[in-house]
Amino acid sequence: MKLWRNNNAQQVVREGIPVIFPRIWRYSLTLTGTPERADDLAQAAVLRALEKAGKFEIGTRLDRWMFRIAHNLWVSEIRKNTVRAGGGLVAIEEADIISPEPGPEAVAINREVMMAVLHLPEAQRSTVVLVYVEGYSYRDAAMILDIPLGTVMSRLATARATLGQKFREEGQARDAR
Amino acid sequence: MQDRYFTDEELVAYLDGEDDLAPVADIAQAAETDAALGARIAALTVDTARIAASFDLLKADERPMPKLPEPALRAPKFQIAGMALAASVALAIGIGIGAYSSGQRTQGWVDYVAAYQALYSNSTLAHIDQAETAKQAELDRVTAAIGKSVGVGTLQTLPEVEYKRAQVLSFNGRALIQLAFLTSTGEPVALCIIRSNVADTPDPALSEMEGLSAARWARDGYDYLLIGGNDAALIDRIATEFSTAQI
């Protein structure tokens, strides 16, 4: 019966990928910093998921499983090349990510908010995106990142303190204009 | 000064509604009367809905999804046949279908490699600049995964291509190695090798996969795919060189 189960899991993974792909790409971008590198990571995650599909347990969350695959790929294989290419850092530049067209004030604020998150150190950035953008619980985020629950909490506490201060300062600057 | 009993982590869990990770009722009660605690909570407060909404700017839904490789045919028929027929008959059918599905699996790895290679660009490889000894050490480690040994010199006999790096990949639990090159015009090309029991076909067969020129041959228990760019003549030359050199 193992083969039957594997084939079913294959099908579940294959059918689920198109639905989950945009989120995997978005998370890949927050890790890699450019759309092109996000394409590479998301593609590699899709291929790895198809390859390991027989190990997916039907009834558990496919999205969480795929996020974990993407994160593992980034940590174990892709980050070192990206970091080497960037001279030690994965720099995230706004111009690489979104077009510089001016928009309404609300869009401008959203850009500031998103870039503030993307400029957090990688450990905080990935945790913030998983919890506040992707909506994962602390426990799910700990599982995806393969870190203790307490580490998720401390990363979020540090990130919230940084972001809170930044948003308040920018809000005051806007109010003053 | 009750606030010293609550860590920032607990306050954040409280703000995020992770109720089993923070003494929620105690924090809520203390915050009503303790101004310092109220200030700490305010300092940790951010508009998380706005953070979530801000990432819509990435327009992830509009990003084209790569084409998924076609699934390799599996062997469920073997299971059904095995249950329905006498053991000897089932064994015979099993062997037959096993041979057939093994061929399908072999085909499958080529599709995966082609889809993966289609995402390579010049900048995937251009920055890689390893010293000769580092290249050889990497090559030794990678080729050992499929029981081979390849000298970096044999990969650098053609002036049109520069050898860049080697990686171990995996297909259905089997090691698959990828040796990556850049052509003199900046096109990424990969030589992928996997163990196989197909018959030797040392003359490279040219084809096009995922819009890329490709050549395939088999020799001494290994299946080879060279793929990249659109210069079929170049791919043919490189493939012939590599096949002749018995890499």
In tens, the pLDDT along A11-35 reads: 899 989 999 999 999 999 999 988 8
Contact B74 A128 (CB under 8 A): no
Dihedral sign, CA of B113, B115, B121, B127? negative
Ordered structural domains, chain A, with CATH: 1-90 (1.10.1740.10), 98-177 (1.10.10.10)
**H helices then E strands: how many in chain B?**
9, 6
B107 forms beta bridges with: none
| Minimal C-alpha gap between B118 and chain A (Å) | 10
Q: What is the pLDDT of residue B64?
A: 85
Q: Which of B10, B47, B58 to mutate to test the interface with A (most CBs of A within 10 A)?
A: B58
Whether B130 maps to a domain, the answer reads yes
- Is pLDDT of B226 > 50? yes
The reply to whether B45 and B130 lie within a common domain is no
Q: What is the pLDDT of residue B42?
A: 95
The reply to whether B51 and B138 lie within a common domain is no
In CATH, what number is assigned to the domain containing residue B136? 3.30.200.100
- Out of B13, B57, B74, the one facing A98 most closely (by C-beta) is B57
Predicted confidence band at B85 (pLDDT cuts at 50, 70, 90)?
Answer: very low
All residue ranges of chain A with pLDDT < 50 are 1, 87-88
Q: Which of B153, B169, B158, B173 is nearest to B225 (CA)?
A: B169
Dihedral sign, CA of B193, B196, B200, B205? negative
The reply to whether B239 and B139 lie within a common domain is yes
The reply to whether B30 and B131 lie within a common domain is no
Whether B199 maps to a domain, the answer reads yes
Whether B167 maps to a domain, the answer reads yes
| Minimal C-alpha gap between B245 and chain A (Å) | 30
Contact A153 B66 (CB under 8 A): no
Mean pLDDT over B176-186 rounds to 90
Contact B66 A133 (CB under 8 A): no
Q: How many domains does chain B have?
A: 2
Contact B68 A129 (CB under 8 A): no
Domain endpoint, select from B13, B43, B58:
B58
| Minimal C-alpha gap between A22 and chain B (Å) | 5
Contact A97 B21 (CB under 8 A): no
Whether B90 maps to a domain, the answer reads no
Domain endpoint, select from B58, B73, B90:
B58
ipTM score for this prediction: 0.88
Whether B224 maps to a domain, the answer reads yes
Q: Determine the Cα–Cα distance for residues A108 and A155; give it in Å rounded to an integer.
A: 26
Whether B116 maps to a domain, the answer reads no
Tell me the residue length of chain B.
247
Put simply, whether A66 touches B (Cβ < 8 Å) is: no
Q: What is the pLDDT of residue B130?
A: 82
Dihedral sign, CA of B229, B230, B231, B234? positive
| Minimal C-alpha gap between A154 and chain B (Å) | 6
Whether B6 maps to a domain, the answer reads yes
B-contacting residues in A 93-132 (Cβ below 8 Å): 97-98, 107, 109-111, 113-114, 117, 128-129, 131-132
Q: What is the pLDDT of residue A100?
A: 63
Q: What is the pLDDT of residue B99?
A: 37
Q: What is the pLDDT of residue A6?
A: 64
The reply to whether B40 and B148 lie within a common domain is no
Beta-carbon contacts of A133 under 8 Å, excluding residues fewer than 6 positions away, are A26, A30, A117, B51, B52, B55
| Minimal C-alpha gap between B244 and chain A (Å) | 32
Mean pLDDT over B25-43 rounds to 93
Whether B13 maps to a domain, the answer reads yes
- The residue segments making up the domain with residue B45 are 2-58
